[in-house]
Amino acid sequence: MMPTFTTDHYRRRTVRLRSPHDREILYLALPALGALAAEPLYVLADTAIVGHLGRPQIAALGLAGVVLAGSFTIFNFLTYGTTAVVARASGAGEEDRAARLAAQALWVSLAIGAVLLVVLEAAGEPLLRALGGHGESGHDALVYFRIAAFGLPAALIALAGQGYLRGVANLRRPLVIVVLANVVNLVLEVLFVYGFHWGIAGSAAGTAIAQTAMGIAFVVELLRPHATSRRPSLTEMRPMVRVGWQIFVRTAALYASFLVAAAVLARMGDAELGAHQIAYELFIFLALLLDSVAIAGQVIVGRTLGAGEADAAYDAAVRMIGWSVVLGGVFAVVLAPLSYWLPRAFTGDPAVLAQAAKLWPMFVVMQPLAGAVFALDGILIGASDTSYLMWSMLAASALFIVIAALSLALDWGIVGVWIGLDVLIAARLGLLGVRFVGRRWAVVGWG
């Protein structure tokens, strides 16, 4: 007998397919994705311009750029920590507190940026030498490094500014500022490098000036809201610094896991390391797309919990997890048949391609798992449940390191290492999933 489908059945099914949260998730995720994509495009423009100067110059950019990019990336807690506390304050109706937090984010980022600049300028030469900088490329790397480093304090202010604007659900303004900064960078670099013939120093100067202009724009945004006080206050900074520190440890542990993977594979051979690099770069690119939904999670969860709406926060979070898993599943479906073709866009070396084929199934399986994990990351950051986030990441990383060590000792090869990375993601999913279902993260109100 055929089942009878009533109008009410179709209505319930439509509700499952559509959600009142979808519009806001999309509204927040799309501009976040644009701002996230601007950074790799920024680096790509630098590479294209400097690459036409010659092999020593492109090698110099690669050497100096990895240090500068690492210094920038490792302080992304300035964005996430600021978003979490500002979104909660905004949701709780604490508008003056949110405005004061904007000023505190400025002071924190400015202080870190000033210290970082002094340290990098002092340690630049021995650091680059230790990384293998020598000859003409070593000299060019130092020139680029010392000039471009002057833009780092402004770049850190921009991180804090993006965090504040995300916290008040204004993701269009940072997108506009970041895109304009990229355009200014491109114009200045072409002018300085090819017009004034300043070489690699012109590329560094263009980058520093564009970042400074971007930083000034975000200073305006951080000081725009009316606050009863904008003076530096350790009390006001404390929740932001606490959340930021825990996110910093979590991020460092994740990067350390991939660093351990690279170190283990380097001991297996160049082919294994080359194949890992291809998959890693693709993982980072896809992570940017997934992170746009995670950013929506930070904003919505922080705001609704601040407003005392724990059930609304949970419902929106479930929806975001669903979207991220679907997106990760789409990535897996697209990537699965490309195991032969996509690695060949990066290399023609037969040995590297053979190793890439071995790791490909694990890379594909990782995508939907990573989708869920990235969403849960954003949800717990928005809830300021970052202590659990930190410790769960450390536990998952420790598990991976054990598997990576066994892969080297027992000759499991690149398959063993990438199974370990899948286990790392799955362990995070299990630990974060238990926390999510238990709802201990759903603490409402400002406090």
Q: Contact, 407 vs 358, CB < 8 A?
A: no
Joined tokens for residue 102 = 């904007």
Q: For every one of its 447 residues, what pLDDT tens digit does the chain have, with 9 covering 90 and above?
A: 444 545 454 444 444 556 677 888 888 888 888 788 777 676 767 777 887 788 788 778 877 877 787 777 778 889 988 998 999 999 988 899 999 999 999 999 999 999 999 999 999 899 888 867 778 888 898 999 999 999 999 999 999 999 999 999 899 999 999 999 999 999 999 999 999 999 999 999 999 999 999 999 999 999 999 888 899 988 888 888 888 889 889 988 988 898 888 888 888 988 888 888 788 878 888 888 888 888 888 899 999 999 999 999 999 999 999 999 999 999 999 999 998 898 888 778 888 889 999 999 999 999 999 999 999 999 999 998 999 999 999 999 999 999 999 999 999 999 999 999 999 999 999 999 999 999 999 998 875
For residue 416, count other CB atoms closer than 10 A to its CB. Answer: 20
How many CA atoms does the CB half-sphere of 353 hold within 13 Å?
13
Distance CA 66, CA 60 (A): 10
Comparing CA positions, the residue from 16, 433, 77, 17 lying closest to residue 253 is: 77
Helices (H), 52-191: 55-73, 77-91, 95-130, 135-148, 152-167, 172-190
Q: 């404390």: which residue's tokens?
A: 238
Query: How many Å is the maximal CA-CA distance in the chain?
Result: 82
Joined tokens for residue 165 = 């604007």
Is residue 167 exposed (0-12), middle (13-18) or buried (19+ Cβ within 10 Å)? Answer: buried
